[in-house]
Amino acid sequence: MSNTRSYKELKQRLDAMYAEIHGQKVEPDAEAKKQAAVYNRAFWETMHTGMPRNELKVGSDGAGGYLVPDTYDDRLVQALEEENVLRKLGTTIPTTQKFHIPVAHGIKGAAWVVEGQPYSFGEAEFSKVVIDAHKLAASILASDEMLEDDGVDLEEYIKTVFAEQIGAAEEDAFIRGTGKHKPQGIIYQAEVGAVSATEGSINMDDMVNLQYSLDRPYREKAVWVMSDDAYRVLRKITHHNGRPLWENALQKPDPNTLLGHKIYVCRSLDKVVPGGIPVMLGDFSYFWIGERGKRVLKRLTERFADRGQVAFIMSERIDAKLVLPEAVKTLKVSGTPAEPDEE
């Protein structure tokens, strides 16, 4: 689907679907705010003391865990966006079950018609992108002294540590996940837009080729996502006079742009090695992240009691799909990948 008309039609359908999923945000009334405050207070008292409060029954998962309060879940999502670049760039939607997104392929745009001859309509093929849910969990330990110390902000500690752990695991799966018991990585869904001209390396010509492999409608909002190693290699490329080829990128007002597109660095993409994929370019708003319900936090009091420690386990159910594969293109480094080391 490369013509502008097809792009606009599909974008309108996806935008309408997104609006329908989210609906109009309703501001909670005074009673709802009061109940939320009661739940929040009971939640953190339970996490501190290990003594469940009756107010938490509405948020119990039936296995000793409790839904995190709404305001705290929002803070967690903000922290996750700092750890997982695709959360920052993608579109997050709430789901309650398997979510099916119909996608049309092979739609033709305008065509010339001979006078008196019938119109010729191409036959579109429809497929479904399915957003399911995979469970991701992380755990941390806290000492009894930490829980008893009034100077320790347990909420902030849990948010920071879990955001680092879950964010790193999410990003790795969103980039290169197998799709088995975890999301399928975007590098397996996006199309290869360019292959580097030099084996085992990349240069600015490769970046231009990647840029123009992306259809114009997607280029308008496209951003680069690249590994630290790719960023390093590109920054070191020089003119024949020794000056950096990417000199404008070192100057204000925005040093993190290249060929007019903003740059984001991702730790889960490959180094610049033969067969690797170190760079992506595209409109990542078509990367949809489906969250099934809210995150759950569980306190394990007994398991590590002999060590004077308490465990906390946070879990979420999540999936992610690139709903339009042509919206993102990848750069592949030419050459044969090295054989993995034998154990």
Residue 157 belongs to a domain: yes
pLDDT per residue rounded down to tens, the chain (343 residues): 444 445 555 666 666 666 655 555 556 678 888 888 999 999 888 898 888 888 888 888 888 899 999 889 999 999 999 999 999 999 999 988 888 887 765 555 667 778 877 776 666 667 788 899 999 999 999 998 888 887 778 899 999 999 999 999 999 999 999 999 999 999 999 999 999 999 999 999 999 999 999 999 999 999 999 999 999 999 888 777 777 776 655 555 566 888 889 999 999 999 999 999 999 999 999 999 999 988 999 999 888 888 899 999 999 999 999 999 999 999 999 998 877 665 4
Determine the Cα–Cα distance for residues 196 and 340; give it in Å rounded to an integer: 22
Q: Rounded CA gap, 154 and 259, in Å?
A: 44
Please state the pTM of the whole predicted model.
0.82
User: How many helices and strands (H and E) does the chain possess?
Assistant: 9, 14
Q: What domain range is 258 assigned to? A: 66-92+131-337
Cα–Cα dist 136/138, whole Å: 7
Total structural domains within the chain: 1
Q: How far apart are CA 168 and CA 172, in angstroms?
A: 6
Q: Do strands 279-282 and 328-332 pair parallel, antiparallel, or not at all (unpaired)? A: antiparallel
Whether residue 118 lies inside any domain: the answer is no
Residue with tokens 């993608």: 90
Rounded Cα gap, residues 326 and 229, in angstroms: 25
Domain of residue 220, CATH code: 3.90.1690
- Inside any domain, residue 106: no
